[in-house]
Chains A and B, each alone.
Chain A
Amino acid sequence: MSTISIQSVSKCYQNGFEALKNVNTEIHSGSFTVVLGPSGAGKSTLLRLINGLETPTTGAVRIGGEAVEEHKLRHIRSRVAMVFQQFNLVDRLSVVTNVLTGRLAQRSWVGSVLYLFRGEDMAIAQRVLARVGLTDKAWSRADKLSGGQQQRVGIARALAQQPKVILADEPVASLDPVSSEEIMTLLREICDRDGITVVVNLHQVELAKRFADRVIGMNGGRVVFDGPPAELSQQTLRTIYQREGIEDDNSLDLALAYA
């Protein structure tokens, strides 16, 4: 089981800014969840807490009953993979090496620091590269690929971890509509076929409606909506995207009219 449970989590950054305010939620194993919300709502913070890239100020995050804690990060991260908006690949390394990075947590540093991998790891890398359709780019340098291809390498790296959970922080924000569609389809298929829990931060309401099982709406560090995408009415969208201190927000109405 790999249910993610977020228990009374608050996050106060060093500068005193409270990015999350007492968030409570459970994300079920094998589900596809999309987190929506305006910029600064705390979506990235929430995702980064699950992977241990940030630590909660109060409260706890558990994955399959195990708390995400400093001394267990290697173990937790080996099961909770992350996909980034800027792909975050190592530019100078080949596509295969970037994918093999996903195997690091399973191997001691002794061989891996010399870029030596076992045959089984190479087999996994080949399988996931075929899965994302980049077999022929295996030996290219990562920074020679297009944005869409780089994001597929990012997903391949995540898959190589053979994780229980994949967290994707705005995975399509830097991509064109066609690549965005490909990436979302790929993530959905990973969820359906491998039973991997997928949590995606998005800015596109339309993509959320089409791909998500469940939508979590955030605003000002709180969860303000939680339900299936079918319940995303104009009214709920207004609640999710409303801006502090603005009652009749014309640009909000305009922006949501076509959502």
Chain B
Amino acid sequence: MNVHDLNSARPQLPPKPRNPMPVWVAATLAMLWLIVWDLEISFETLAYGVEDMAEYFSRYRQPDFSDLSRYLELMGITLATALWGTVFALLVAFFLAPLAARNFAPNPLAYRIARETLNFMRAMPDLLLALIFVAALGLGPLPGALALGVHTTGFLGKFLAESLERVDKGVCEGVASTGADFPQMVMYAGWPSILREALGYVLYILDRNVRMASVLGLVGAGGIGLALHDTLRLFNYGQSAALILVILATILIIDYASAWLRGRLG
């Protein structure tokens, strides 16, 4: 068999399917060009823009720690705000979550009310709550703590209620079969079974509240956020950089601490 034979015996392939890819690529490129043209973006200014940004950020190059003790005190206030917000959330969720867990709720009405209360609290953004509380209670960490507390009660309560609903049915029956009443069921079958999970949620909420408390300073709820707001407005880059570093370091420390704590509780 020679080469010629091979060629003549070549079977016909089915028609090649059309590949639309080049069309799409071309269309996309055309679109991008249209956008650039429409916005009158010049790549020249974009390059300068990058340069400008680099220049802007370079102003933060030299953090000014001369006022560090005050920054730490402010961070302390922010941490306290977050902590009290979390304590508030924990206290309220501790009582609402069992009512909002289908398997523990003593009656359907209590279940509905607890569920809806938690939903409502979760739906209120904490920035909005902070604005309202600042207007009502004046500047300072208290309105911040309350805002965080109300908002995160919604989250924590929902998380804990869902954990409680996952408690083994057998364990619940084991305790219920002794004749335990609702509070006893919650304290013996409920919380001990989800302790580890619950601690994880509380630490997560604390973590989140520390971050959020730094931001809440901006709307007048005191702490380090307020100071950062002021230094930024005064173009005081050195102090702003120092404040940002203090916030980042604190968040990192809290992160590690909560991971360590969770690891400890086997």
**A76 CA / B176 CA spacing, docked (Å):** 12
Contact in complex: B187, A90 (CB < 8 Å): no
**A84-B170, A88-B174, A101-B178 as given contacts; A113 in contact with B183, CB under 8 Å:** yes
- Does any Cβ of A come within 8 Å of B28's Cβ? no
**A52 CA / B179 CA spacing, docked (Å):** 10
In the complex, per-residue mask of A151-167: 1 if CB is within 8 Å of any chain B CB, else 0: 00010010001000000
Contact in complex: B178, A102 (CB < 8 Å): yes
Which listed residue, B171, B180, B183, touches A105 by the CB 8 Å rule? Answer: B180
For chain B, the bracket of interface size reads 20 to 34
In the complex, per-residue mask of A72-84: 1 if CB is within 8 Å of any chain B CB, else 0: 0111111001101
**A78 CA / B188 CA spacing, docked (Å):** 16
- Does any Cβ of B come within 8 Å of A91's Cβ? yes
Which listed residue, B171, B179, B184, B186, touches A89 by the CB 8 Å rule? Answer: B171
For chain A, the bracket of interface size reads 20 to 34
Contact in complex: B192, A84 (CB < 8 Å): no
Contact in complex: B175, A90 (CB < 8 Å): yes
Contact in complex: B183, A109 (CB < 8 Å): yes
- Does any Cβ of A come within 8 Å of B247's Cβ? no
- Does any Cβ of B come within 8 Å of A259's Cβ? no
- Does any Cβ of A come within 8 Å of B38's Cβ? no
Which listed residue, A86, A88, A97, A104, touches B180 by the CB 8 Å rule? Answer: A104
Contact in complex: A105, B179 (CB < 8 Å): yes
Contact in complex: A112, B171 (CB < 8 Å): no
**A179 CA / B214 CA spacing, docked (Å):** 59
Contact in complex: B188, A77 (CB < 8 Å): no
- Does any Cβ of A come within 8 Å of B58's Cβ? no
In the complex, per-residue mask of A99-120: 1 if CB is within 8 Å of any chain B CB, else 0: 0011011000100110100000
What are 11 of the A-B contact pairs (CB < 8 Å)?
A75-B179, A82-B173, A88-B168, A90-B171, A91-B193, A101-B174, A101-B188, A105-B180, A112-B187, A113-B187, A161-B178
Beyond A91-B193, A161-B179, 17 additional contacts (C-beta under 8 Å) are A53-B177, A73-B179, A75-B179, A78-B179, A81-B177, A82-B177, A84-B170, A88-B168, A89-B174, A91-B171, A93-B188, A104-B178, A104-B179, A104-B181, A104-B188, A105-B179, A113-B187
